[in-house]
Amino acid sequence: MKAMLLEKTQDIENEPLKYVEVPRPKPGSKEVLIQVQVCGVCHTDLHTVEGDLKLPKLPIIPGHQIVGIIEEKGEDVDQFNIGERVGVTWFYSSCGECEYCSHGQENLCEKAQFTGLDADGGYAEYTTIPAKYTFSLPEKFTDIQAAPLLCAGVIGYRSLRLSDIQPGDNLGLYGFGSSAHVVIQIANHWNCNTFVFTRSEEHRQHARELGAVWTGKAQEDPPEKLDSSIIFAPAGWIVPEALRVLKKGGKIAINAIHMSPIPKIDYDLLYYEKAIQSVSNLTYQDGKEFLKLAAEIPVKTEVETYSLSEANKVLKKVKVSDIKGSAVLQIK
């Protein structure tokens, strides 16, 4: 099968992903083999390729926003049928037995594994995934529309919940890429007022088109204080800026798997019971809840499509925020 294989981490400008032929994987007893139709491109893929994340194995096939068709299934899989369309997220597996897994917090499991990091992902014609963490997809969405929902959407939904935003509140979004363009649609559904902070004028225009009540740069003051904020940009310097315009008792959720150092913060910025919450991965329940909600709204993803062999090119564009909405690789 054809795949984009990472053998050595390098700056994306060096085009480290190689378009090669590799053996087609075989599903284990509790796994399904998926013929990949499309795979979304995520900022986490860039962190993987450039070595910002510690890689448990090399070589690795990145990609974790996968939509495909079940071609084979293991002998212990009974919840899916051959030919069924399914989706795969960043979350690949957990131990299922520890205190975190027992309380529905498998995202914190010490033995958790992640698609495209611990196990080969969707920048390929086929991949395998434990059936337990595979999702049925609403018929409402095409393959291309569904792909960004499987990471950008699910992790954005978890970030919204952890930010403690309430209907009618003022919500700040720092960065306006793939995840934020989904989150703003949920916020609109909940009648929130959304304030978007991004350096890109094109992204500010996109945010206004999707209903932002105000846009500006992170250093600017919005016309009102914010009840909650989500930081998508992996830039630590934004944290004190976000605290500065947060209401008393407000909360910031940081939606970043990797972030540059957060500078020293004056206690006055954090005082008055303000809170900072990191967002770590996602749970299966997050995926179920979000996909149901996305179909009800319905969420509309804006997508740029590319071929599998163009993965390096797409990640270069992701690095400089040159994608409007989401990018998706078309495999089939």
3-state helix, strand, coil in the chain (%, to 5): 30, 30, 45
Confirm if 32 and 86 have CB atoms less than 8 A apart.
yes
**Is the CATH number 3.40.50.720 carried by domain 154-278?**
yes
What pLDDT is attached to residue 257?
A: 86
Residues paired with residue 197 on neighbouring β-strands, in sequence order = 174, 216
Residue 271 Rama label (left phi>0; alpha psi -120 to 50; beta) = beta
pLDDT of residue 121: 97
pLDDT tens per residue across span 58-74: 999 999 999 999 999 99
CA R_g for the chain: 19
What residue spans define the domains of the chain?
A: 2-151+282-330, 154-278
Residues 292, 296, 299, 305, CA torsion sign = positive
pLDDT of residue 258: 86
Asked, colleague to colleague, whether 2-151+282-330 and 154-278 share their fold, the answer is: no
Chain centroid, CA 60 distance in Å: 19
What span, in angstroms and rounded, lies between the C-alpha atoms of 59 and 8? Answer: 7
User: What does residue 253 show for φ and ψ, rounded to 5 degrees?
Assistant: -105, 130
**pTM of the shown model:** 0.91
Which CATH number among 3.90.180.10, 3.90.550.10, 3.40.50.1820, 3.40.50.300 corresponds to the domain 2-151+282-330? 3.90.180.10
Q: Could you give the CA distance from residue 254 to residue 98 in angstroms, rounded to a whole number?
A: 25
Please enumerate, as own/partner, the contacts of 315-319 that have beta carbons within 8 Å and a separation of 24 or more.
Answer: 315/12, 315/17, 315/41, 315/45, 315/46, 315/49, 316/12, 316/13, 318/41, 318/42, 318/43, 318/45, 318/46, 318/177, 319/12, 319/46
Task: Classify 164 in phi/psi space as left (phi over 0), alpha (psi -120 to 50) or beta.
Answer: left
Q: 183 is written with which tokens?
A: 């989150």
Residues of the chain with pLDDT under 70: none
Cα angle: 32, vertex 36, 42; to 5 degrees: 110
